[in-house]
Chains A and B, each alone.
Chain A
Amino acid sequence: MLPVYIIIGVVVVLAIILFILYNGLVRLRNQVKNAWAQIDVQLKRRYDLIPNLVETAKGYMKHERETLESVTKARNLAQQLSSAGAGERAKAEGELSSVLSRLLAVVENYPDLKANQNFLALQEELASTENKISFSRQFYNDSVLRYNNKTQMVPSNIVASMFGFKASEFFEVTLTAEREAPKVSFT
């Protein structure tokens, strides 16, 4: 009689471990999904802000037509590619970030524009959205790293392969283009 109880005990313990590992994987996978959605929310917010910003700036920045046009163009391109693959999309968004920071640097040259309350509010929103994009990307990549580690490490990798948890892709942006945005100074 006793061995039967031992076998039942072992099976129950194994089942509990399986549940815990499985739930852990599901939680991480959902975290990755949510983090991805958060990036999307912020990128969309940026598409919405740019036309307003360009419209407000247009009246003041008569000599920056090209810069303004390139911002609009980059925005439209990024929006078109928003359903494309991660790689292509990241490239378009990186390009948009870099033209935007160029625009915000040029603004320094227009004191009237800088005094415009509406513009200042838009600028704060845009700068913050840029931050939110990079923070949500940061959190997404951290989540992907944790999730991928779990799917590859013993013992959760066994559960992962049993139930088809696949490793996720990182969201890499061509960092050089974005971080080394040209700093224009007017001294």
Chain B
Amino acid sequence: MLTIGMGALLILIGYFLGLAFDSAITGLVIAILLWVILSLVAYFQGDSILLSMSRAKKIKRDDHPRLYNVVEEMKIASGLEKMPNIYIIDDPALNAFATGRDPNRASVAITSGLLQKLNRDELQGVIGHEISHIKNRDVLLMAMCGVLLGTIVLLAWYGGRFLIFGAAGSRRSSSSGGGGGATIIILVVALVFMILAPIFAQLIYFAISRKREYLADASSALYTRYPEGLASALEKLGASTGQLKSANKATAPMYIINPFRKKGMKASDLSSTHPPISERIRILRAMSGASFNDYDQAYSQVHGGKGVVPAASLAAATVPIATVKLEGEAGEPNEIQRARETSDVMWRLSNYTTIECDCGAKLRVPPKFKEPRIKCPHCGRTHQL
């Protein structure tokens, strides 16, 4: 529904822009052509652009077995057919995102900061959220909406200038006779529209994005059968203040939390891609079961008004929350161990060799180092490379 609204905005803006060229059709054609080209670029290149922009490193099963396993668990729970690619972003900020134009060519990425902060249940909740973005095809939807928004903003910017500087001059000479008053009124309406359209488009875009976030939270709870995992992960995410260096506005809706979030955001904030974290946590904790129905009820209870889950996916089945998680706490590494493990992975992915000296020091040998042996700077033992 909202997406159609955005499309209508684009077509209208094209129409008004056409007035500047004395033909509405030219404007429409320009608008649609621009949108198609940008969409195609986003469709075929979107994920690789995003991943290379955020300097994400692809990992294999052996690089980080726990992360790989958690992703595979969520892949199985969601019934996704193909295992998504997994990336780690070397950034202490806490965030994660999903990308890929269809479920068979998808990737999930997580920052090294988040990876070491979360325990297994929390990681599962976050990955469940990202996998459901893939499963629900949100990546494609938000890419298309983002391109739509970008096109509207671009056209309105140029169109506004055209109307002010270009059209005013040419119009005086061409329409010498009657009907000049009507033309001016149309021009003024067009100008106002050029100013308002980008703002509306932005608000619609944010509304779509927030809806998909709620749906992804609901799906994550359904897949893991354990809403508390995601809730407690969001708590940790909300407590952090670091902003992701490599994020930008176009990619914001794909992250688990808004990468541009400021402290103390209001609950009724219309100009955000993500719902407030505190509200998302309260909804997850208010769930009495793990099904979409339960999420919908919890949403109405916390937020008021109607639910957010599309009626088509509301199943009548009751789904209990798992009370005892199956994996014991036995093998769970603590935060320090996770930090070491993650930094080991990051060094290895940068092609550094790690040597553990008997004195307890860890030597990170850069790939450029060509000598056959190296001396430990701590105790002076020599190691063969």
Contact = CB atoms under 8 A, between A and B. Distances in A.
Q: Do A and B bind each other?
A: yes
Interface of A: 31, 35, 38, 42, 97, 101, 104-105, 107-108, 114, 120-121, 123-125, 127-128, 130-132, 134-136, 138-139, 142-143, 145, 178-181
B372 to A, nearest CB: 27
A117 to B, nearest CB: 11
Contact of A132 (B76, B225, B323): B76
Contacts of A120: 331
Contacts of B326: 97, 101, 127, 130-131, 134, 178-179
A105 B327 CA distance: 10
Interface of B: 65-66, 69-70, 72-74, 76-79, 223, 225, 315, 317, 322-324, 326-328, 330-331
A146 B65 CA distance: 33
B76 A135 contact: yes
A167 to B, nearest CB: 16
Contacts of B73: 128, 131-132, 135
15 contacts: A101-B328, A104-B330, A105-B328, A123-B330, A128-B66, A130-B327, A131-B69, A131-B326, A134-B326, A135-B73, A139-B79, A145-B317, A179-B323, A179-B326, A180-B324
Contacts of A180: 324
A97 to B, nearest CB: 8
A181 B77 contact: no
A38 B324 contact: no
Contact of B79 (A35, A114, A145, A181): A35
A44 to B, nearest CB: 14
Contacts of B70: 128
Contacts of A114: 330
A91 B70 CA distance: 26
Contacts of A135: 73-74, 76-77, 223
A132 B68 CA distance: 12
Main DSSP-derived SS at the A contact region: helix
Given A121-B65, A145-B317, A127 B327 contact: yes
A145 B318 CA distance: 12
Given A131-B326, A179-B323, A179-B324, A124 B331 contact: yes
Nearest to B69: A128
Given A107-B330, A125-B69, A131-B69, 12 more contacts: A104-B331, A114-B330, A124-B65, A124-B69, A127-B328, A130-B326, A132-B69, A135-B77, A135-B223, A139-B77, A139-B78, A179-B326
Contacts of A31: 79
Nearest to A31: B79
Contacts of B328: 101, 104-105, 127
A53 B328 CA distance: 16
Contact of A138 (B77, B315, B323, B324): B77
Nearest to A35: B79
B258 to A, nearest CB: 29
Given A131-B326, A179-B323, A38 B331 contact: no
A139 to B, nearest CB: 5
A82 to B, nearest CB: 19
B357 to A, nearest CB: 17
A28 to B, nearest CB: 11
Nearest to A129: B69
Contacts of B317: 145
Contacts of B66: 124, 128
A134 B226 CA distance: 13
Contact of B225 (A104, A125, A138): A138
Nearest to B224: A135
A35 B66 CA distance: 23
Contacts of B315: 145
A178 B326 CA distance: 8
The 10 closest A-B pairs by CB, nearest first: A128-B69, A135-B77, A127-B327, A123-B331, A135-B76, A131-B73, A104-B328, A139-B79, A104-B330, A136-B76
A121 B63 CA distance: 12
Contacts of A127: 326-328, 331
A177 to B, nearest CB: 12
A75 B328 CA distance: 19
Contacts of A38: 76
B354 to A, nearest CB: 14
A181 B328 CA distance: 10
A132 B328 CA distance: 15
A130 B73 CA distance: 10
Nearest to A143: B79
Contact of B65 (A35, A125, A142, A178): A125
A100 to B, nearest CB: 10
